[in-house]
Structure 1
Amino acid sequence: MTESGRPSWQSACWYLVGALLFLGFGFTEMAGSDLWWHLAGGREILEQGTLWLRDTWSYSAAGERWRNHEWLSDLVFYGWYQLFGLHSLVYWKWLLVIACFGLLQALLVRLSGAQPAALLLSVLALAVAAPFIDMRPHLYSLLAFVVLLHLGVRRAPFWQFALLFLLWVNLHGGFMLGLLVLPFLLFPFRQSSWAAVWRVALWELGCIAVCMLNPDGAKVVIYPLTYALQAESPFRQIAEWLPPWMPGGIQSPLFFWCLPLLPLALLGYCLPLLRRQVHLPWWSLGVALLTLAMALTSRRFIPLFAIALAVFAAPLLGVLLGRLRAGLQWTLLGALLLVALLRLAPYPLQAAPAFHYLTAEYSYPHLTVDVLQRNRVQGRVFAYYNWGGFLHWRSDGALSVYIDGRANTLYGDAVYLNYVSVLRGDPGWIDIVEQSGAEYFLWPARLAGGAHKAKELLASGRWKRVYSSSSAILLARQEVPVQLSVGVPADSPWWQLSEGWRFLLQGDADRAQRNARAVLEKYSYHQGACNLLGATLREVGDEAGAARNLADCRAQFPSVFLR
């Protein structure tokens, strides 16, 4: 029986199981440093009352025009925060994931005529994409891509395409993919004529014109193309832009396993037995090949290829699974429901613990910023790249940085290359920091060579230690007057953790353990407190206690970063 002949309550069961499965893939842990400056960007737009912002957060590009092509996303982030609180942004993420892949499931039902095929392919697409699903505006592009495919399949009127692109161009730069995909969707492969081709060209030009309706006009439309063609740009060496076979950055374990599915599906369409039942969908083959080429160029496009692959394979898998007996379909649905519940069982749906891990909230210099703000310290900070947005969110430019995650929408190549030299510790890196005009140097204590860098700066005699915590080291130029006379509250979890690690390094495991337990009493899910307590228990030889602590903490959130 086809989907059109199935009772609506049965369809609802498939979509409900799909939603549970999609939610289960929404727990990707990632230090999403961009989230912080997007939040700050929304606040900045409202405070300045304009979309045409000049940079007030850095000292290397102060006063320069910031081409914020994701301004609408920033307003949504900040508005959501104002209405529901910071931690509730996990619900924003989960809603977008469920909406995106739920709409994909509906599209695949339309293309395949079989709910089992639609759900299996939707879950496969999300499983391939899952490592990239973090709290960033790129989720809008995944959703808009699926909506665009819907509009193309049902031959929607032009105004609906125009409305989609009007929103998309102001939410995320992925709108350019939509403009590239649109001709494949609209091209009359079966009944081509000059009139039909001309109509496609007019619609494409119309959508390009709509994309000009953004604060920077044509510059935003041209920007993704010029950036994609500038292979020599140093910003292309940021991990997310690297090809998927190169080491480092985010990896999708299933991506290379799924690549053979494309030629296998193409072969299936060519088999005489199947060719009589389903036609080769040329438009979806073109979209799949386009997104594959993009994914092989940059791993950040892997989620788009996963969606396109599912769309291409749907009619074929629909033929293969569409004739399953009702009993087998219900058995499959039950098995998928069990998988969904097992995937969700270890994870919390509460906002606070989920946000803590999904954004790696614990990895940012909370305590150091608290101390600086309580002492009203301001100035130019050469900070770790991933911490730039967090400083913007917390200080609103009072602690201005050298560079941050806004990358080439604001900074030139030389600024980024200088930062990379400092990050690598190249010869002369200290000169780069000092010649940049930095008054402070803020770096992770246990990452990116932080301890070694601090030692070299102090050995130069031109820098002094201002503050150190378990997560960050803050130095200042000798001539910069700074006095930290105001401490943070003793019940601050970040202070208690920092002190706990200090006690442990001094050999006082009992005091360290008390600090860890004090934090866990208030925040039972806290990653730093869990790891500190485990370390103190191992220090005193209580391996069984350390194992119980690890189990308790992973019961709060099963993170691989709990040790």
Structure 2
Amino acid sequence: MPRAYRLLVFLILALAAIAPLRNYDLFWHLATGRWIVEHRALPLHDPFALASARVPWINGEWLFELVAYALHAVVGLAGLSVARGVLMALVFALASDGTPASLLLSAIGFAGAMPLFDFRPASFAALLVVLAMRAKTPLAHALVALVWINVHPSALLAPVIALCLTRNAKTTLASFAALFVNPFGYRALLAPLSLASFVSGGGFVNAEWLPSPPLVFPLLYVSIVVALVVFATAETRDAGRLLLFALFAFLAVRYARNQPLYFAAFPLLVAPHVRRIPAKLAYAAAAVVVAFAALVSEHRPGLMRGRFPVDAVARLKASPLRGNFYNADQFGGYLIWSFYPQRRALVDGRNELYRAFLPEYARAREDQRAWNALLRKYRVDLAVDEYLPPLHVIDAGSGRARDLPASLAYWPRRDWALVAYDDAAMVFARRAAFGAELSKCEIRGVVPDARAERDR
């Protein structure tokens, strides 16, 4: 394919991939980058959350966090949306070698990755998957692995890629050895295995670590079937590519978060075995696939509407209320970015730092006394909570079952005042912790989650 056409493909993909930022973890990544810049060091322990364990923090994404913080300082959140589009275009433009079959498979990969691709370490890891698969020399494989292990723990795949695609011991060993060039040594290699074991234990639910349902991600399963047909009918057999494809497919099916890695590898692994496809047919099909992916996606830069408590936090910032937060874990990063170090959030999305807290939290959600004890333990005076379904309770007076808005159960208005809310969250303040300033902030006569339930 001529260079001008390659540039055109890249620009089309970049425009199609510009989308609102939706990953909750973005903000604790930005906060970590800020902390590293301010302290000129990596944090040994988590400095942010109230409930995190006092254990060494093996932060294998520190290099991404530095880059993200520096880029955000220049272009802001809207610019990060554009950067997301450029990154995604780069991944899938490089995943195509310019042949009609490769271009079509890259378009399928682009469409498949669209729902979960965001400005996050795993998306940069998708680029490194492509670079590792295109690397030609031991030095190139080693350099990719070195960068990768400091961006995302999926770097454990780097020597596997080298082994399956080159079958060369020197190249594989170079890639493996480069993984140890990180601030944490061998612990950076063990941390992702420990986390995978922890999240698979069933003690809590993280949607990204759940399997990929076929009805939610049909293109994943369609692409796997297509690949298996291609491998089965190929004129030549390549056991290394087949094994590598099986590994990426397993990881994507087992954990939804791995789908961008799979779709980045998909065209590079499958295209060499595709029999000749008419060029016009392949180009037309690729255009349709990319157009469909673009049409079903939102393309407004900045944050996704209603996903982050932007308005509620702005109101809280403008208030005189101070104190530690209880928060739904998905809001932790945004609160850390917005308020640290003046106010501290309870939790965020770094599951590995809350091994002791998560069982304690699960018990507290089921027992009023344990719930109040947990809030006292962490000296919580403010709460930023999500909208939850109503609770089924028995009325103490009549003995009848009824639905109670969850906020009235967890934040009873005799003890907690509603001070802000928006489409994402509600903010409450403990009455006993604040004086006259609370009366100026309180929103009376409104139960936002009851209203939200009525509007559904």
Query: TM class by shorter-chain length?
Result: 0.7 to 0.9
Q: Could you tell me which residue of structure 2 aligns to residue 415 of structure 1?
A: 357
Q: Which amino acid aligns with 2:110?
A: L
Per-residue deviation, 1:397: 2.9
Q: Could you tell me which residue of structure 2 aligns to residue 44 of structure 1?
A: 35
1:420 and 1:104, CA in 2 relative to 1: closer, same or farther beyond 3 A?
A: farther
Q: Helix, strand or coil: the match of 2:432?
A: coil
Does residue 320 of the first structure (1) align with residue 276 of the second (2)?
yes
8 A Cα contact 1:381 1:442, kept in partner: yes
1:179-190 maps to which residues of 2 (within 5 A)? 179-187=159-167
Post-superposition CA distance 1:461-497 (Å, at most 9, x none)? 5x22151324433334443235537989xxxxxxxxx
- Work out which of the residue numbers 186, 207, 211 in structure 2 matches 1:239: 207
8 A Cα contact 2:33 2:68, kept in partner: yes
State the alpha-carbon separation in 1 of the partners of residues 116 and 298 from structure 2: 20
Post-superposition CA distance 1:13-43 (Å, at most 9, x none)? 255235414642453x663111111111111
> How much identity, in percent, do the aligned residues show?
24
Per-residue deviation, 1:231: 6.3
8 A Cα contact 2:332 2:345, kept in partner: yes
8 A Cα contact 2:13 2:88, kept in partner: no
Does residue 479 of the first structure (1) align with residue 427 of the second (2)?
no
8 A Cα contact 2:129 2:265, kept in partner: no
Q: Helix, strand or coil: the match of 1:401?
A: coil
Does residue 294 of the first structure (1) align with residue 251 of the second (2)?
yes
Q: What is the TM-score of this pair, normalised by structure 1?
A: 0.69
1:204 and 1:420, CA in 2 relative to 1: closer, same or farther beyond 3 A?
A: farther
Per-residue deviation, 1:264: 1.3
390-399 or 257-266: bigger deviation: 257-266
Post-superposition CA distance 1:280-326 (Å, at most 9, x none)? 22221111011122223212222333344433331232x322xx4xx
The structure having more radius of gyration, on CA atoms, is 1
Per-residue deviation, 1:83: 1.5
Post-superposition CA distance 1:113-132 (Å, at most 9, x none)? xx211110101112222211
Q: Could you tell me which residue of structure 2 aligns to residue 515 of structure 1?
A: none
Q: Helix, strand or coil: the match of 2:23?
A: coil
Q: Which amino acid aligns with 2:406?
A: K
Per-residue deviation, 1:207: 2.7
8 A Cα contact 1:291 1:305, kept in partner: yes
Q: Which amino acid aligns with 2:428?
A: L
1:339 and 1:160, CA in 2 relative to 1: closer, same or farther beyond 3 A?
A: closer
Q: Could you tell me which residue of structure 2 aligns to residue 446 of structure 1?
A: 387
1:37 and 1:105, CA in 2 relative to 1: closer, same or farther beyond 3 A?
A: same
Q: Helix, strand or coil: the match of 2:96?
A: helix
State the alpha-carbon separation in 2 of the partners of residues 24 and 448 from structure 1: 35
Post-superposition CA distance 1:529-563 (Å, at most 9, x none)? xxxxxx9xxxxxxxxxxxxxxxxxxxxxxxxxxx9
8 A Cα contact 2:321 2:438, kept in partner: no
Post-superposition CA distance 1:180-208 (Å, at most 9, x none)? 32211221xxxxxxxxxxx51x4433333
Q: Could you tell me which residue of structure 2 aligns to residue 469 of structure 1?
A: 421
1:159-308 maps to which residues of 2 (within 5 A)? 159-187=139-167, 200=169, 202-230=170-198, 232-234=200-202, 237-245=205-213, 251-269=216-234, 275=235, 279-308=236-265
Post-superposition CA distance 1:156-180 (Å, at most 9, x none)? 2222222111111111111112233
Q: Helix, strand or coil: the match of 1:475?
A: strand
State the alpha-carbon separation in 2 of the partners of residues 437 and 346 from structure 1: 43
State the alpha-carbon separation in 1 of the partners of residues 311 and 105 from structure 2: 45
Per-residue deviation, 1:373: 2.9
Higher relative contact order at CA 8 Å, sep ≥6: structure 1 or structure 2?
2
- Work out which of the residue numbers 89, 95, 114 in structure 1 matches 2:86: 95
1:342-421 maps to which residues of 2 (within 5 A)? 353-357=300-304, 360=305, 362-408=306-352, 410-411=353-354, 413-420=355-362
Provide the aligned C-alpha RMSD in A.
3.6
174-183 or 67-76: bigger deviation: 174-183
1:266 and 1:458, CA in 2 relative to 1: closer, same or farther beyond 3 A?
A: closer
1:66 and 1:302, CA in 2 relative to 1: closer, same or farther beyond 3 A?
A: same
1:449 and 1:150, CA in 2 relative to 1: closer, same or farther beyond 3 A?
A: farther
8 A Cα contact 2:13 2:85, kept in partner: no
- Work out which of the residue numbers 72, 76, 99 in structure 1 matches 2:67: 76
Q: Could you tell me which residue of structure 1 aligns to residue 268 of structure 2?
A: 311
Q: Which amino acid aligns with 2:158?
A: G
State the alpha-carbon separation in 2 of the partners of residues 63 and 231 from structure 1: 19
- Gapped regions of structure 1 (runs ≥ 5): 1-7, 110-114, 188-198, 270-274, 489-497, 508-534, 536-562
1:332 and 1:15, CA in 2 relative to 1: closer, same or farther beyond 3 A?
A: farther
Q: Helix, strand or coil: the match of 2:303?
A: helix
